[in-house]
């Protein structure tokens, strides 16, 4: 195989075995896919081999265009598995997965980026159908002129497939909940090649698992989503964004004050913090506060309260469109992001969390902090496979550790307060992370579903229940 060719040069037996495997990758390929694959020797390989967080060396990347291509790719992987003990198989939608699992070494990548259609099915009702390979910046750009918004991640290059199967916390979390809370239907193709149309009434158990645990059950090729209709007078302004840079000596007190402010704020307000320790031993906090419409009368008093949380270095307040809030950089993925990320979901945002963050910032580059209350709490604990419905905070740490163990050790002060983890927001995919992402009953139920639809473990990359 590509990876080992150099290593086995001169070893006749190994060279022969590798040649056989290479041939297998060729001969097992369904005819329909012949013109849709990219191999290591191809010119475009450099652009498709990696994800944002990981450099990969797959044997084959399938650039799927249709549901049939997805079915054929799964059949191909099943065929390879008959002769190879392990076939790494990655699904890639936006390529922004934190663990880098949408690429691999020596296996197959199913790339869905060409399956990126966004269709407004019913504008008045806000019903939208989106293929998994679309990215959120594209979604925002398409929906903004129709005054429609879907709560998603904050970053425009993140894929619809990864978020709509795993969670989705962003600038509208308190107002609209998670992305998965807006999925009202989906098409999932399982390891046996069967195409399932999922909704509350069609295969409800699989629909439950898809929303929060979907990354390991099959390939989600499209989603029907309930978008939120904004009552704006102009498409150029759907929301109010406040950008504040605080400078504080007391990060413990800052976190407690911010926690109190966001908890009392109406649900229209969501806030996103990036906290850093500066070389001058003070803390710089970059806050993006988003009010989910343009009602200044209600928003301004809350924005003023935010200005009173701590000392301010700079601030600005703007009305902007949904498309400007989630810009679409369209970066090429070459494994450029080298940092590692761990996260924690916590019951309360208070001074003890502030103390833990202070400790972590002795070594971390950045701590992100977001609220997880509001609409997220209004969905029942058992309604989706996202098990963290009654918590107040979600935070993550960005570090450059030498190992996963070091990352977890340095994040330990926060982990002591953690009651859960967001699986898709973690560089680490160990069973410890899995148990926190899908604890207790949720984990058992999801495991039963996984055993039912993927008993052989065909979908074998990324976090597994
Ligand atoms: C810079 C950055 C910012 C981020 N910001 C946010 C944020 O604000 N909020 C938030 O909630 N998350 C955020 N994330 C995390 C992100 O949402 C998840 O990592 C998500 O899984 C990425 O989706 P993707 O399609 O781009 O990922 P990919 O890398 O394409 O896929 C990641 C994994 O998801 C699974 N997967 C992908 N597509 C499918 C599919 N169609 N069917 C089944 N499984 C699939 C696969 O297991 C794959 O390995 C961010 C990540 C990065 C790198």
Q: Which of 7-21, 229-243, 253-267 has the lowest mean pLDDT?
A: 7-21
* SS3 of residue 329 by DSSP: coil
* SS3 of residue 342 by DSSP: strand
What is the whole-number distance in angstroms between the Cα of residue 253 and the centre of ligand 1? Answer: 33
Interface predicted TM-score (ipTM): 0.99
For residue 34, the model assigns a pLDDT of: 96
Query: Between residues 405 and 203, which one has the greater pLDDT?
Result: 203
Q: Which of 172-186, 268-282, 303-317, 324-338 has the lowest mean pLDDT?
A: 324-338
Average pLDDT over residues 163-185: 98
For residue 13, the model assigns a pLDDT of: 75
State how far the Cα of 242 lies from the Cα of 265, in Å rounded to an integer: 14
Average pLDDT over residues 166-189: 98
User: Hey, what CATH topology would domain 239-320 get?
Assistant: Vanillyl-alcohol Oxidase; Chain A, domain 3 (3.40.462)
* CB of 107 closer than 8 Å to CB of 88: yes
Best residue for ligand 1 mutational test, from 117, 158, 385 (most atoms within 8 Å of Cβ): 158
Closest approach atom of ligand 1 to CA 98:
19
For residue 245, the model assigns a pLDDT of: 98
- Check whether 132 has a pLDDT greater than 90: yes
Query: Between residues 401 and 133, which one has the greater pLDDT?
Result: 133
State how far the Cα of 239 lies from the Cα of 29, in Å rounded to an integer: 49
Note the pLDDT tens digit of each residue in 291-339.
999 999 999 999 999 999 999 999 999 999 999 999 998 888 999 988 9
Out of 3.40.50.620, 3.60.15.10, 3.40.462.20, 3.40.50.150, which CATH number does the structure's domain 340-440 have?
A: 3.40.462.20
CA-closest residue to ligand 1 atom 12: 153
Considering only CA atoms, give the Rg of the chain.
23
* Residue 56, CB-side half-sphere exposure with 13 Å CA sphere: 34
Helices H / strands E in the chain, number of each: 15, 19
What is the whole-number distance in angstroms between the Cα of residue 290 and the centre of ligand 1? Answer: 22
- Check whether 7 has a pLDDT greater than 70: no
Average pLDDT over residues 152-176: 96
Report helix angle 351-360 to 251-264, nearest 10.
130
For residue 465, the model assigns a pLDDT of: 95
For residue 119, the model assigns a pLDDT of: 98
Sort 447 into a burial class: Cβ within 10 Å, 0-12 / 13-18 / 19+: middle
Best residue for ligand 1 mutational test, from 93, 343, 365, 396 (most atoms within 8 Å of Cβ): 93
Query: Between residues 156 and 20, which one has the greater pLDDT?
Result: 156
- In sequence order, what are the residues at sequence separation of 6 or more whose Cβ sits closer than 8 angstroms to the Cβ of residue 141? 323, 328
- Check whether 218 has a pLDDT greater than 90: yes
Q: Which of 17-26, 32-41, 52-61 has the lowest mean pLDDT?
A: 17-26
* Token couple for 7: 């290593």
- Check whether 458 has a pLDDT greater than 90: yes
* 286 backbone dihedrals φ, ψ, rounded to 5°: -95, 115
> Which numeric CATH code is attached to 118-231?
3.30.465.10
Ligand 1 pocket (Cβ < 6 Å) reads 51-53, 90-98, 101-102, 112, 132, 153-155, 158-159, 161-163, 165-170, 214-215, 219-220, 424-425, 461-462
Q: Which of 131-135, 189-193, 378-382, 404-408 has the lowest mean pLDDT?
A: 404-408
Contacts 24+ apart (CB under 8 A), 66-72: 66/115, 67/187, 67/189, 67/195, 67/221, 68/32, 69/32, 69/33, 69/36, 70/110, 70/112, 70/189, 70/219, 70/221, 71/189, 71/193, 71/195, 72/30, 72/32, 72/33
For residue 236, the model assigns a pLDDT of: 76
* SS3 of residue 6 by DSSP: helix
State how far the Cα of 440 lies from the Cα of 400, in Å rounded to an integer: 31
For residue 22, the model assigns a pLDDT of: 82
- Check whether 212 has a pLDDT greater than 80: yes
Note the pLDDT tens digit of each residue in 194-208.
999 999 999 999 999
Closest approach atom of ligand 1 to CA 160:
25
CA-closest residue to ligand 1 atom 13: 153
Average pLDDT over residues 98-110: 95
* Token couple for 353: 């969390």
Cα angle for residues 135, 168, 208 (degrees, 5° grid): 110
The pLDDT-based confidence of 184 (bands split at 50, 70, 90) is very high
Ranges of each domain in the chain: 2-111, 118-231, 239-320, 340-440
Closest approach atom of ligand 1 to CA 422:
11
Query: Between residues 175 and 12, which one has the greater pLDDT?
Result: 175
- Check whether 276 has a pLDDT greater than 90: yes
- In sequence order, what are the residues at sequence separation of 6 or more whose Cβ sits closer than 8 angstroms to the Cβ of residue 132? 93, 112, 115, 159, 160, 161, 164, 219, 220, 221, 222, 223
Residue with tokens 């009651």: 419
Q: Looking only at Cα atoms, what is the longest distance across the chain? A: 77
Closest approach atom of ligand 1 to CA 112:
41
- Check whether 238 has a pLDDT greater than 70: yes
Closest approach atom of ligand 1 to CA 52:
53
Best residue for ligand 1 mutational test, from 97, 366, 461 (most atoms within 8 Å of Cβ): 97
- The number of residues in the chain equals 465
Cα angle for residues 61, 62, 68 (degrees, 5° grid): 165
For residue 402, the model assigns a pLDDT of: 87
Sort 78 into a burial class: Cβ within 10 Å, 0-12 / 13-18 / 19+: middle
For residue 317, the model assigns a pLDDT of: 97
Average pLDDT over residues 256-270: 98
Does the fold of domain 340-440 match that of domain 2-111?
no
For residue 5, the model assigns a pLDDT of: 56
Average pLDDT, the chain: 94
For residue 21, the model assigns a pLDDT of: 81
Q: Which of 154-168, 192-206, 323-337, 352-366 has the lowest mean pLDDT?
A: 323-337
Estimate to the nearest angstrom the gap between the alpha carbon of 54 and the chain centroid.
15
- Check whether 1 has a pLDDT greater than 60: no
Name the DSSP letter for residue 231: -
CA distances from 8 to 3, 5, 19, 104 (A): 10, 6, 11, 20
> Which numeric CATH code is attached to 2-111?
3.30.43.10
- Check whether 15 has a pLDDT greater than 80: no
**Beta bridge partners of residue 392, listed in sequence order:** none
* CB of 57 closer than 8 Å to CB of 107: no
């Amino acid at each position: 195989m590509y990876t080992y060719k150099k290593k086995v040069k001169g070893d006749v037996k190994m060279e022969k075995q590798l040649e056989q495997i290479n041939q297998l990758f060729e001969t097992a390929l369904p005819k329909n896919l012949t013109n849709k694959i990219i191999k290591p020797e191809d010119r475009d390989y450099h652009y498709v081999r990696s994800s944002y967080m990981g450099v990969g060396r797959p044997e084959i990347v399938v650039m799927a265009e249709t549901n049939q291509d997805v079915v054929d790719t799964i059949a191909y992987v099943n065929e390879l598995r008959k002769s190879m003990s392990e076939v790494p198989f990655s699904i890639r939608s936006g390529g922004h997965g934190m663990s880098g699992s949408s690429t691999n070494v020596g296996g197959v990548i199913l790339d869905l980026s060409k399956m990126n259609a966004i269709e407004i099915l019913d504008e008045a009702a806000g019903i939208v159908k989106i293929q998994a390979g679309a990215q959120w910046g594209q979604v925002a750009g398409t929906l903004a002129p129709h005054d429609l918004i879907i709560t998603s991640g904050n970053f425009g290059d993140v894929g619809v497939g990864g978020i709509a199967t795993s969670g989705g916390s962003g600038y509208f979390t308190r107002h609209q909940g998670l992305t998965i809370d807006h999925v009202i239907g989906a098409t999932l193709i399982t390891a046996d090649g069967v195409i399932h149309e999922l909704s509350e009434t069609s295969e409800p158990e699989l629909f439950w698992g898809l929303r929060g645990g979907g990354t390991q059950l099959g390939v989600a090729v499209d989603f029907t989503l309930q978008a939120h209709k904004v009552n704006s007078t102009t498409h150029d302004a759907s929301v109010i964004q406040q950008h504040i840079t605080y400078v504080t000596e007391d990060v413990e007190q800052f976190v407690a004050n911010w926690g109190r402010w966001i908890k009392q704020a109406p649900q229209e307000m969501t806030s996103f913090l990036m906290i850093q320790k500066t070389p001058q031993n003070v803390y710089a906090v970059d806050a993006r506060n988003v009010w989910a419409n343009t009602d200044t009368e209600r928003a301004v008093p809350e924005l003023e309260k935010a200005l009173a949380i701590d000392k301010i270095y700079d601030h600005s307040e703007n009305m902007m469109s949904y498309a400007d809030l989630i810009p679409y950089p369209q970066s090429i993925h070459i494994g450029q992001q080298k940092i590692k990320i761990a996260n924690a979901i916590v019951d309360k945002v208070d001074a003890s969390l502030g103390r833990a963050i202070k400790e972590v910032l002795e070594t971390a580059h950045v701590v992100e902090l977001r609220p997880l209350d509001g609409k997220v709490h209004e969905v029942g604990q058992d309604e989706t496979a996202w098990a963290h419905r009654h918590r107040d905070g979600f935070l993550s740490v960005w570090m450059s550790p030498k190992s996963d163990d070091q990352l977890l050790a340095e994040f330990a002060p926060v982990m002591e307060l953690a009651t859960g983890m967001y699986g898709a927001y973690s560089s680490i995919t160990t069973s410890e992370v899995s148990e926190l992402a899908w604890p207790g009953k949720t984990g058992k139920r999801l495991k039963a579903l996984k055993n039912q639809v993927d008993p052989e473990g065909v979908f074998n990359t990324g976090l597994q229940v």
